[in-house]
Chain A
């Protein structure tokens, strides 16, 4: 666990993660994986709208989000609309965004990449896959400077 965190210096144990998924099951699983990787500050939202509201309220008190992990298909506001809103927002556009999706169709993937998604986790996934994706997020964020 410590070894993993030392590899990716952009994430610290106290980094803030926001999991956005309408499925309580998936939120709980992702949270469990993140805790097992050594992270402690993990927040949850059920859809894109709730995520934006939480980001706003945290921003007001000076708390920055270090990574958003969002599902693609959600009621109210889906993952792609959330991504679009964030990329158009001056304060949130640089937050790394990991899309969790059950669909890996080329058209959808390209659409999300065009909008600036950092990487994808395709369902089903386990802790190792999530760990690899966090490393990929770290590499890409570093590349983009």
Chain B
């Protein structure tokens, strides 16, 4: 997955720099995406002809660079001596490695929108699984293993006690992401997050099902948008009860893709339901 810097983003950055941050020569600022040795993509910010930039402008640049670096891309800033010093003074030299000088212009700025493509459930699941793994690891310090995704119908999937449910739109499709727990595994996950042992679903802790779904959808949104898809999601909700059967009221029987997740907490499953957006 390459990081793609879209022209809209570039325009926004230029606009932000020029109108808000006292960057007097915004038109002299160049942002380029350079293909280097695979799998890396290098994003170059050329400020060599820029005379001044205020600290909040550097905040924007540093945050942008942080998200590029998080995707295992490389960032390079071509800057004047003065700006290099300023980046260092502001404590950003770690995320904004500076080079004094000018790099030759490369014309292949990439715009690769996937807004008209359908995303299939398997490709979607490939983004969801790392997001779930990441959430369990950071929030609960729990490691997790994932099974092979399988297609099932509304009648042949495991019963659920607690589910975090988030609706989304992705290109010309819409759907739901569900994190489906039995009470026991849910309590173990929440106990690990809150660092105290829960023996029953006390008021308030079922919110964690929605919060996990929310956090997973946020990561999915960021990753899919970086790949050129359009994506939006709502505020997730919780279904809670005993042996619940979640049914969708779609015109045609929906395709359901589920994947089992297991670990020291027991098991739960992720469900993706997608239908065309009519």
Chain A positions near chain B (C-beta within 8 angstroms): 22-26, 28-29, 32, 73-75, 101-107, 109-110, 113-114, 120, 122-126, 129, 139-140, 143-144
Contacts and interface: CB of A to CB of B under 8 A. Distances in A.
A126 B138 contact: yes
B194 interface: yes
B214 to A, nearest CB: 6
A124 B215 contact: yes
Assign chain B's interface to a size class.
Answer: 35 or more
Given A29-B194, A105-B221, A124-B134, A113 B215 contact: no
Interface in B222-265: 222, 225, 235
A23 B210 contact: yes
Top 8 A-B pairs, shortest CB-CB distance: A102-B218, A25-B207, A124-B138, A123-B215, A24-B204, A25-B208, A103-B218, A124-B139
B101 interface: no
Interface in B135-171: 135, 138-139, 141
Contacts of B106: none
A28 B64 contact: no
| Dominant secondary structure at the B interface | helix
Contact of B219 (A26, A102, A110, A140): A102
B20 A114 contact: yes
Nearest to B214: A102
B217 A125 contact: no
A109 B235 contact: no
A25 B134 CA distance: 18
A30 B208 CA distance: 13
A114 B9 CA distance: 15
Contacts of B221: 102-103, 105
B214 A73 contact: yes
Interface in B47-97: 55-56, 59-60, 63-64, 67, 90-91
10 contacts: A23-B210, A23-B214, A106-B12, A107-B12, A110-B63, A114-B16, A123-B135, A126-B138, A126-B139, A126-B141
A88 B214 CA distance: 30
Given A25-B205, A28-B194, A106 B91 contact: no
B121 interface: no
Contacts of A125: 138-139
A74 B20 CA distance: 27
Given A23-B214, A123-B214, 10 more contacts: A23-B210, A24-B207, A26-B207, A28-B204, A102-B217, A102-B219, A106-B12, A110-B63, A114-B20, A143-B90
